[in-house]
Amino acid sequence: MSDSKTYEDAEAWEGVTSLLRRGDVIGVRGYPGKSKRGELSIFPRKIELLSPCYHMIPKNGVKNVETRFRQRYLDLILNPQVRSVFEVRAQIINYVRRFLDERNFLEVETPMMNMVHGGATARPFKTHHNELSIDMFMRVAPELYLKMLIIGGLDRVYEIGRQFRNEGMDQTHNPEFTTCEFYQAYADYHDLMDMTESMIAGMVKAVTGGYKITYTNPDGDVEIDFTPPFKRVSMMDGLAEEIEKKHGFKVEFPDPNGPDAKDFLLDLYKKLGVEPKPPNTVARLIDQLVGDYLEENCTHPTFICDHPEVMSPLAKYHRSRPGLTERFELFVNKRELCNAYTELNNPWTQRERFTQQAAQGSEGDDEAMVKDEDFCVAMEYGLPPTGGWGMGIDRLTMFLTNKDSIREVLLFPAMKPLNHVKPTASPFPAAATATQPTGSAVFPACPSTTCDAWLPGVDLGSKGGLGALATLLRGQNFIGGASPSKADAEVFDAMTALPYEARNYFPEVKHWVGTVGLFLPFVRATWPAPKAPIAVPTPAAAVAKPAAKPAAEPAAKPASKKPAAKATEEEDDMDDLFGDEEEEVAAPASDRAKKAAELKAKRDAELEERKKVALERLAKKEAKQRSLCSLEIKPWEAEQDLIELFARIKSTVVKDGLKWSENCALKEVAFGIKKMMLTAVINQTMSMDAIIEEMVEEIFPDDIQSMEMTSMSLL
């Protein structure tokens, strides 16, 4: 309520009110009162323009959805009810944090950029670290790091943070989203189901005041009851029951990890009259059936439990049902809300699961998980029995605020640029086939490499030899077929001498090298000999060449046309070495061998020169580097004068590159015996162990009982 009568100066009131516009931020000094209609207001005596608004604010609010999401600030200004959505979101996060804190969980933070995109089956975002000059991945899940903390002795940890998955955008998916994951040592998935019921039911009651909520679906409103306990359904049993109920015939699923599982599922799809969605891996085929037959019935909170191993690479195998895992997913209103399982803690089984995932990747599943060797090594130190749990904060907020789009519960959701034009052709090259190299068109120089025990007459150091191996591996994971054998181990060891570019030249060889490399050497040494003889393809026929064009009548050559420029001598030598040019087919074998030997000698000389330069640089670098060593000395006698001994050490043990500390410290051990603590700085090229041995055994054998180096760090 403002007029010139209550304002301190009528003329000033005219001036300030002429400047004010809708949306301006103002400061007011006055006294409270009520208007004629009884509304509580302020009668200003002074008004000051704090921040002007340079845009016309709509009088009837913002209705356009795109405008609301792109200009969230305008949405918050004009639609006060939007604020309540994010207040509920904050209540959910605070409740989860309080629930876990009360149970002695420790909140932690883990890296968001990783060398390997592990922890979930999802396609990652890729970025580049300029300082380290390496490609990295935005995390798809914090799972592996949190389990490393469990290994380190933090028995209960959790993290609430952002995850990034380079996948589709729809009503329930956004490229970046918020999750909570927690891990508890000495718990299994039964304990986690009980905790989930307690947390979700308690949260719904705390936020809404009761266990039942009303949610608006496209086909009408539905009431969702969060009263515990929640329904529990075993995945494969429930799937068989629903198929029998809807189609009238019984289904007995084979072992999902067995060799017949894929063919059985494809036949089942034909019986059901359903078209499978690619890629047709066992995991994807089962997942599609679950979505069509089980998830559709999950209106109220329902646990779908006991997933097959092929769908759960990080879950522990079921204690009583072979082929299944101790895992559950919580579905509400046909949407996944939580995912949890008893964690796999066998490092060797974990490596096998990673191998299965690699095989799924070779079948076109770009969301298959990749091997994280650091995590496998960490598991070798001992992961206690652990339960792991994850929940999407955004989807739960959607249910408790009755929103049908995930963008409604994100302050700044991902949006397509206004002037975005989708490219007509993919900027990425098509996937390589068996006859297409994965790398550059030029095959690198390689030493002659053979494994005559299994591939007689095949030079793996040549393009033709690796092409023969690629042909052999076409359609199978290993040299001997579906299972690894001694042939894989010995050929893999022979190929370690080849450069990285050669091993990755053919896609079949690249995938095989990655799969065999998942296993440690002592595991490969246990592989049996192949069950059947290996049919070795002819190296010359292994590398596909363009089909010859039909002969045509020779056309008159234009007089003005110049001959094509000849390749450089080194390129000619490269083609000669690997037999790429047709004109070299007729050349004598001795000439080709001579050129190959000359080129190899030249490159060996260059390699030796580079090694020499690198070693010189390393020696100079090591000469400049110094280390700080912390030492402890125990004397033979309690009455030993350690200060005098320290002075003798400094005056006696004098070496270039060795500098003792100015002072020492004394600490009592027991029975009046004290130990001396001192430090020394040495050059990187020196050995402190040798200095300690010399002092104890030769210089001060009667004075020093023991001398130990407690720590060493680079300066």
Q: What is the pLDDT of residue 314?
A: 82
> Which of 667, 668, 650 minimizes the C-alpha distance to 659?
650
CATH of the domain at 673: 3.30.70.60
Please say if the pLDDT value at position 206 is more than 80.
Answer: yes
pLDDT given at position 320:
92
At residue 138, the pLDDT reads 94
The model's pLDDT over 515-541, given as tens digits with 9 standing for 90+, comes to: 787 677 777 788 888 877 777 776 544
68 part of a folded domain: no
Cβ contact 512:480 at 8 Å: no
Q: Does 416 reside within a domain?
A: no
pLDDT at 119 over 60: yes
- Alpha-carbon span 700 to 172, nearest angstrom: 74
Residue pLDDT, tens place only, 670-712: 656 788 888 888 887 788 888 888 888 889 888 888 888 887 7
Residues 32, 150 within the same domain:
no
What is the percentage of the chain residues whose pLDDT exceeds 90?
A: 40
Residues 471 and 539: their CA atoms lie apart, in Å, by: 9
279 by DSSP, 3-state: which?
Answer: coil
pLDDT digits (tens, 9 = 90+) for 87-117: 999 999 999 999 999 999 999 999 999 888 7
Out of 496, 527, 542, a domain closes at 542
As a whole number, mean pLDDT of residues 485-504 equals 85
- Does residue 573 surpass a pLDDT of 80? no
Residues 512, 388 within the same domain = no
Q: Decide if pLDDT at 555 tops 80.
A: no
Residue-number span of the structural domain to which 113 is assigned = 87-409
Q: Does one domain contain both 143 and 246?
A: yes
Over residues 187-201, the mean pLDDT reads 97
Q: How far apart are CA 710 and CA 347, in angstroms?
A: 32
Cα–Cα distances (Å) from 629 to 189, 646, 660, 697, in that order, read 48, 16, 10, 20
Mean predicted lDDT score pLDDT of the chain: 83
First-to-final CA distance of the chain: 70
pLDDT higher than 50, residue 328 = yes
The pTM assigned to this predicted structure is 0.59
Q: Which of 542, 566, 601 is the last residue of a domain?
A: 542
Check whether residue 31 and residue 132 sit in a common domain: no
pLDDT band, residue 432 (cuts 50/70/90): very low
Rounded mean pLDDT, 156-160: 98
DSSP-derived pairing of the beta strands 302-305 and 231-234: parallel
**The domain spanning residue 164 has which CATH number?**
3.30.930.10
> pLDDT class for 391, splitting at 50, 70, 90?
very high
Q: Considering the domain boundaries, does residue 614 fall inside one?
A: no
Position 367 pLDDT exceeds 70: no
Position 369 scores a pLDDT of 62
Checking if the pLDDT of 42 tops 50, the result is: yes
Of residues 346 and 547, which shows the higher confidence score? Answer: 346
Residue 275 shares a structural domain with residue 315: yes
| Residues 92, 19 share a domain | no
Give strand pairing partners of 163.
Answer: 177
Measure CA 413 to chain center: 22
pLDDT digits (tens, 9 = 90+) for 440-478: 457 888 888 888 888 888 888 888 888 888 888 887 778
Residue for token digits 């680079």? 714
Note the pLDDT of residue 541: 42
Answer with the one of 409, 438, 473 that is the final residue of a domain.
409
Whether residue 121 is found in the same domain as residue 214:
yes
Q: Are residues 274 and 376 in the same domain?
A: yes
Report if residue 609 sits inside a domain: no
- Residue 493 located in a structural domain: yes
The SS3 call for residue 167 is coil
Give the C-alpha separation, 707 to 35, whole Å.
89
- The answer to whether 143 and 119 have CB atoms below 8 angstroms apart is yes
Sign of CA dihedral 268, 312, 170, 91: positive
Across 219-246, average pLDDT: 94
Q: Is residue 504 part of a domain?
A: yes
Q: Are residues 214 and 253 in the same domain?
A: yes
Tell me if 167 sits within 8 A of 122, measured CB to CB.
Answer: yes
Q: How many structural domains is the chain composed of?
A: 4
Q: Is the pLDDT of residue 543 over 80?
A: no
pLDDT in the model for residue 215:
95
Instruction: Collapse the DSSP code of 335 into the 3-class scheme (helix H, G, I; strand E, B; otherwise coil) and give the result.
Output: strand
Considering 363-367, 435-439, 648-652, 663-667, the range whose residues carry the highest mean pLDDT is 648-652
Q: What is d(CA 568, CA 98) in angstroms, rounded to the nearest whole number? A: 71
Are residues 301 and 260 part of one domain? yes
Residue 545 confidence (pLDDT) above 60: no
Considering the domain boundaries, does residue 71 fall inside one? no
Give per-residue pLDDT as tens, 265-302: 999 999 999 999 888 889 899 999 999 999 999 999 99
Q: HEC profile for 284-320?
A: HHHHHHHHHHCHHHCCCCEEEECCEHHHCCCECECCC
Residue among 483, 576, 570 at smallest CA distance from 532: 483
Give the pLDDT band of residue 243 (cuts 50, 70, 90).
very high
Q: At what angle do helices 80-101 and 393-401 cross, to 10 degrees?
A: 130
Token readout for 81 is: 């009810």
pLDDT at 588 (0 to 100):
56
- Same domain, yes or no, for 47 and 94? no
Secondary structure (3-state) at 177: strand
Say how far apart CA 254 and CA 285 lie, in whole Å: 14
Residues 326, 318: Cα–Cα separation, whole Å = 5
pLDDT of amino acid 318: 92
Same-domain pairing of 51 and 178? no
Q: Is 455 within the bounds of a domain?
A: no
